[in-house]
Amino acid sequence: MSNLIVAETILKTLGGNKFRMMTGAKNLAGDENSLSMRIGR
């Protein structure tokens, strides 16, 4: 199994691609316990 299940679940909970488009989130990086991203410019 993938070790990015938690990161994928966090993104899905936030709204997935709709969240990315609405906030301008870029450079998503995830590991087994977290999801980080750059929001805005």
pLDDT tens track for 1-41 = 578 899 999 999 999 999 999 999 999 999 889 999 999 87
The token duo for 6 is: 């938690």
The token duo for 5 is: 């299940």
* Spatial distance between the Cα atoms of 11 and 35, rounded to a whole number of angstroms: 8
Report pLDDT for 13: 96
pTM of the full structure: 0.79
Report pLDDT for 20: 94
User: DSSP string spanning 1-41?
Assistant: --TTHHHHHHHHHHTTHHHHHHHT-EEEEE-SS-EEEE---
State residue 4 phi and psi, 5-degree precision: -105, 15
